[in-house]
Amino acid sequence: MTFSDFHFLRPLWLLLLLPWAVLFWRLWQHKVGSAFWQQICDPALIPYVVAQDERQRNRRQLLPYALGGLCGILAMSGPTIERQLQPVFREQAALVILLDLSRSMDATDIAPSRIARARFKIKDLLTARVGGQTALAVFSDQPYVVSPLTNDARTVEGQLSILTPDLMPSQGSDIPGALKQGIELLHQAGYSAGELLLLTDGISRTQLSKARNVLKDSGARLSVLGVGTTGGAPIPQPEGGFITDSRGGIVISKLEAGALTELAQMTQGIYLATTTNDQDINTLVQFFERDHQRREASQTEFTASQWRDLGPWLLIPLLGYATLAFRRGISLLLAIAICLTAIRPAQAEWWLTPDQSAHRAFQAQEYARAAERFLDPRWRAVANYRADRFDEVVASLDNANGPEDLYNKGNALARLGRFEEAIAAYDSALKEEPDHVDALHNRQLLQEIVNPPEKNRQDEEKERAQAGREEPPDGGGQNDQGKDGEQQGEEGGSESGMRPLATSDDSAASNSERSNQQNSQDRSAKANNGSNAAGADKPDPPERVDQAESNAPGDQEQALATEQWLRQIPDDPGGLLRRKFHYQYNRRQAPTPSETPW
């Protein structure tokens, strides 16, 4: 760096020096003559009327303004004297994890199962890996994206617990299609190269040749983590028993280590079999980091120099003078007030629409305040449901005419104990959408509560007779139902549980980013942008009616019926992903039948 390198990046701004000089000279002459006295006094008397020190003071007042204008013009022209190096490459620390969700991953040759072990390994990898972006995709006979490339590993980790082969709309194992999906995720994020990690138990020779064509010139490097044992194990079916082949023999799924090793070597990746300790994960992390460091070292040569703009430094004295421009300190006080005063939430809401303000309250779990501010009746119903204001939900959906609105209205009526009206609402929803599974399921459960089967009633009466207990005739039916609900709750049968309000993505919110792990889903109404608004989660069970406070049979019956209904609500955290995969499956063309449908 020498003074000969000094120049201006934007020299045309220096042309402003000409009008600046003319303006300064005019003001200088104007101040010297003191224009006010020139208008009323003879020019010969001016030296005797205007004191010399006052004229000098007027001149001194011009100097800060002149220096400020000069600093501003020089700052805009961009003075510079040195260069700075700029890297011209992007960090290529991207990893796409491809998880096999075919039926063979349910095999139990490694405890507790292949799919459970694979999920544990992915979680350990996310914990051990530092920096970089990570994506997750699953596949059976078709690939599906669970999470695109993100810097937040917790987003990927939060999806792992719900990934099972039961989520997939069809079965098979299309590894070439999964590799193609992983490469697309890298390219969509702007990466020309990256890492692919495949967790599976085998690949056929036909797919091996297809995978070679997919990986060729893709820029991605594939590593494989084999899940299973070479001895293999039968593949259990969800309904019981084991999967059989066309001849009726039980299929034994074995780890195809040789083919998977050949697959990994196509792109100079590594193949590892899962271990009971962290040795496999540590080896993978070291392999990824070593290659990443080598790539960084080779790319440090690809740099470009850029002149450093020194103009902003000239603004510092200008800003310092601006805060002291007025003798009475008004500017200084304003600067301090602006720096120390933060915008309060109440003031920030001045710039929000009522729905935006309500949505912020909804995100903060202030559901009652959100319900008062929402203009959209469907959003208002959702907020009221979250606030346990079921009367308001019914009022908001009083003129409902869509199947989803009628379904949600029925749920609110059921929470109020108005079972007959709830059944009528479910009937209306089924008229408009006969295939509405949730409405049909909830209607059947409420029908059993209102009119319990005669066999169950007789069994309960027989048990009470044997125990020597007598129940009031008015409350007996509902007490029977409560006990029946307890039995069903203990059995935990997910097929007999009442489904709550269905939910979908809150696309009006961020990020995110968040409804995949809700215990129950609310099929709420669609928001203005065309996607469904986030609905109510599975409501918390109401407090039990205290016998000492309320002895009314009607209150007890309603509490028991509500408790029975809540106990039957199934937990289905993977429901959203299941519906997403089914939707994508139906939109795609029918895949070619797999050689091994397991």
pLDDT tens track of the chain, all 598 residues? Answer: 567 778 888 889 889 989 988 888 887 776 544 555 666 767 777 666 665 555 555 666 777 778 888 888 888 888 888 877 554 444 457 999 999 999 999 999 998 999 999 999 999 999 998 878 999 999 998 999 999 999 888 889 988 989 999 999 988 899 999 999 999 999 998 888 899 999 999 998 889 999 999 999 888 999 999 999 999 999 998 888 898 887 888 999 999 999 999 999 999 999 999 999 999 999 999 998 876 555 544 444 445 557 788 888 888 877 766 665 555 555 555 566 555 555 455 545 556 778 888 888 888 888 888 888 888 888 888 888 888 888 888 888 887 778 888 888 888 888 888 888 889 988 988 988 888 888 888 888 888 888 876 555 555 555 555 554 444 444 443 334 333 433 333 333 333 334 444 443 333 333 333 333 333 334 333 333 333 333 333 334 333 333 334 444 556 777 877 877 777 766 667 778 888 888 888 888 766 666 666 6
Residue 116 and residue 54: Cα distance in Å, rounded? 89
Q: How many residues does the chain have?
A: 598
Helix, strand, coil % in the chain, rounded to nearest 5: 55, 10, 35
Q: Which residue has the tokens 């016998």?
A: 547
Asked if 577 and 497 count as a contact pair (C-beta separation under 8 A), the reply is no
**What are the extents of the domains in the chain?**
1-81+309-336, 94-299, 354-567
pLDDT attached to residue 531:
36
| H-only helix segments in 374-511 | 377-386, 390-396, 403-415, 419-432, 437-450, 454-467, 473-491
pLDDT attached to residue 503:
40
Q: Can you name the CATH fold of 94-299? A: Rossmann fold (3.40.50)
- Residue-wise burial string across 367-399, b where 16 or more C-beta atoms lie within 10 A, e elsewhere: bebbbbbbebbbbbbbbbbbbebbebbbbbbee
Asked if 177 and 142 count as a contact pair (C-beta separation under 8 A), the reply is yes
The continuous run of DSSP H or E covering 585 comes out as helix 575-587
pLDDT attached to residue 325:
57
The architecture (CATH level 2) of 354-567 comes to Alpha Horseshoe (1.25)
Rg of the chain (C-alpha set): 37
Q: Which residue has the tokens 């009221």?
A: 384
| Bridge partners, 307 (sequence order) | 83
Residue 10 and residue 430: Cα distance in Å, rounded? 71
Distances (CA, A) of 266 to 55, 69, 189, 224, 284: 87, 66, 24, 11, 17
Cα maximum dimension of the chain: 129
For residue 103, which of 115, 119, 120, 121 has the smallest C-alpha distance? 115
pLDDT attached to residue 475:
40
| Bridge partners, 250 (sequence order) | 244
Interhelix angle 437-450/553-567, nearest 10 degrees: 140
Asked if 215 and 266 count as a contact pair (C-beta separation under 8 A), the reply is yes
**What is the DSSP code (8-state) at residue 529?**
T
Asked if 118 and 199 count as a contact pair (C-beta separation under 8 A), the reply is yes
Distances (CA, A) of 336 to 68, 299, 320, 324, 527: 21, 47, 13, 12, 43
| Bridge partners, 79 (sequence order) | 8
Phi/psi at 65 (5° precision): -65, -40
> ∠ CA 23-26-29 to the nearest 5 degrees?
150
